[in-house]
Structure formats: structure tokens, C-alpha cells
Amino acid sequence: MASLSILCIIFSLSSCLKNGKYYTDFASGGASVDLPLAATNANNPVTFAFDATVTSTDIPFYINLASPKVLGTAVTATFALDSAYLDTYNTNNGTNYQLMPDTVYTIVNGWNRTIPAGKRLDSMYVHFDFTKLDLTQVYILPVTIQSASVPIEQWNHLMISPSVKNQYDGNYSITGYTLRAGDPVRTGEIPAGTMGLATSGPASVVFVSLQPWADGSGVGIGNPNLAINVADSVTITSPGGAMNYSGYSPYYDPATKTFYISYTWGAGVASRLATDTLTYLGPR
């Protein structure tokens, strides 16, 4: 009798759980496909950063079967370029991502994909040739699921942004001095801190934030760009007219990974000047 009572309780609980208001019959759900990396990043750009020594790479674009269980039949799908979504994203977010030139990438195994019966994943491999990539631009290869033999979910806008970091890219300690004639607050030693230098070309890097004045505020001439020339000399420019100070020879020391720079702008060296030492700390 005791065993029978226990069985009755078990069956009663099972019935309650199955028919309760919080019960969901997932087994009855249909199959659909999505792009898992797009889902993870909510259809936003996904950056893959590579060192300057990497000249090419293959990146897989995975398609996923979302279903309560794997299917007994194959699922077919076709990828397509998604430039319209890239345009919409730029408009909605105030960004200026550029469409990846077709000279930079090659579809290795075709746009048409098949998820085999009993499986959940397939992938399209894309080969990127970084020697043909303009490092001064931020490019996106936007891909979507154009069609499929099952419904397509909302996470189907995958925007891959491969980028190459040159050998100078990284985080640097920064110390130095600024001059602003007639302004004792902004003239003097700048606060010791950290400055990121981001790749802006094969042999150039740009400050990730403004040059600091002595009081820690930013110099309003745009972010300085450092171009490393033959024999490791450095040329400084910026949107606001930065130029090398003629009384100093800016250079890069590869042995210590240190930049020694001095530049002027505006009314010239008599009123506007920055002299910095930037020493490599590690990758950004």
C-alpha cells in the first residue's frame, strides 16, 4: 500500500507539472537557423585583431540549427552579402564602417551551406588577405542568411571586422611637458599616465585620446598621429595642424620600444608645444 501511495504521488506531481501554467512543451517547437556569433553579439560588429606578422587568415561563419532535437533530414541555407544592414547600422549608430573590398576576401567553400541530418552546425570559410587591407580604414564584411529550408531567426546579421595591429600598436606610459604661453595652469609637466597608440597604417599609430595638457585636460587639435620613417625618425601630424618641433628630432627606439617626440601647433613653438616620452607597456 505504501509503494502504491508513492507511485500515486509521483504520477500526480508529473501531471501537475505537465499541465501547470508554467509548463512549456519545448518538444513541440519548430526548427530554425541563426548565426551564433551574431546572436552572441546582438547583430553588432565582431572584431578579430591580428598581429602585424599575420598576413592572411581563414575565419569561419557558422550557421546553427536551433531546434529541440537534431533533425533526421538535412537543412540547406544560402549566405549573402548584407551591405544594406551595414548601411542601416552606420545610420542608426553614427558609425562609418566601410564595406570590405572584394579584393581582400575569398569565399573558400561557397555561399551555399548544408547542415547534415543529425547535426547542428555548418560553416562558410572566408579567406582574408591582409596585404591588400588599407589599415587606415575600419572595414566590415557583413553577411546574412538569405534563404533556408527552415525559418530564419532574427540573429542573422553577422558583421566581421578583421584588423591588423602593426608592431607599434599598444599601451604606453606617457610623461612629458606642455607649453601654452600665458597659461600657467596648462604649462608644465603633464600627469604621468597611460596612452594607447592604435594602428593607423602599416608604419604609423595614432593616440587613442587627446594629448594631455599639464592640468590633465585634452589639447584640442585632434589625436596626434605618429608616422615612423626610415631610420626610425617620427613625423607628427594631427587634424588641428600638429607638426614636428624644429628644435627636436622625434624618433622611435626599437630596443626599448619608446617614442621620443616633440611637436608644435597653432601660433608655433613660442606658444604651443608638447614634448612626450611614450614607453611600451603591453598590447591594447
Tens of pLDDT, residues 209-240: 999 999 999 999 999 999 999 999 999 999 99
Q: Does this chain's domain 27-165 share its CATH topology with 170-282?
A: no
Question: Right CATH number for 170-282 from 3.30.450.20, 2.40.128.420, 1.10.472.10, 3.40.50.10440?
Answer: 2.40.128.420
- pLDDT grade for 135, boundaries at 50, 70 and 90: confident
Q: Rounded CA gap, 262 and 257, in Å?
A: 17
Tens of pLDDT, residues 63-78: 999 999 999 999 999 9
The pLDDT of residue 7 is above 60: no
Q: What is the mean pLDDT of residues 28-42?
A: 90
For residue 94, the SS3 value is coil
Domain spans, the chain: 27-165, 170-282
Contact 227, 201 (CB under 8 A): yes
How high is the pLDDT of residue 29?
Answer: 58
Question: Right CATH number for 27-165 from 3.10.450.50, 2.60.40.1740, 3.40.50.1000, 3.40.309.10?
Answer: 2.60.40.1740
How high is the pLDDT of residue 14?
Answer: 40
Going by C-alpha positions, the residue among 144, 173, 178, 143 that lies closest to residue 273 is: 178
Q: HSE of 232 in the Cβ direction (CA atoms, 13 Å)? A: 12
- pLDDT grade for 171, boundaries at 50, 70 and 90: very high
Task: Tabulate helix, strand, coil % of the chain (nearest 5).
Answer: 15, 45, 40
Q: HSE of 61 in the Cβ direction (CA atoms, 13 Å)? A: 34
Number of H helices, E strands in the chain: 3, 20
User: Which residues lie closer than 8 Å to 217 by C-beta, 6 or more apart?
Assistant: 186
Contact 233, 261 (CB under 8 A): no
Antiparallel, parallel or unpaired: β 157-165 and 45-51:
parallel
User: Which residues lie closer than 8 Å to 260 by C-beta, 6 or more apart?
Assistant: 250, 251, 252, 253, 276, 277
Antiparallel, parallel or unpaired: β 112-115 and 75-81:
antiparallel
- pLDDT grade for 3, boundaries at 50, 70 and 90: very low
Q: Rounded CA gap, 156 and 145, in Å?
A: 6
Number of C-beta neighbours around residue 41 at 10 A: 16
- pLDDT grade for 270, boundaries at 50, 70 and 90: confident
Q: Rounded CA gap, 215 and 185, in Å?
A: 6
Tens of pLDDT, residues 245-264: 999 999 999 999 999 999 99
Number of C-beta neighbours around residue 245 at 10 A: 19
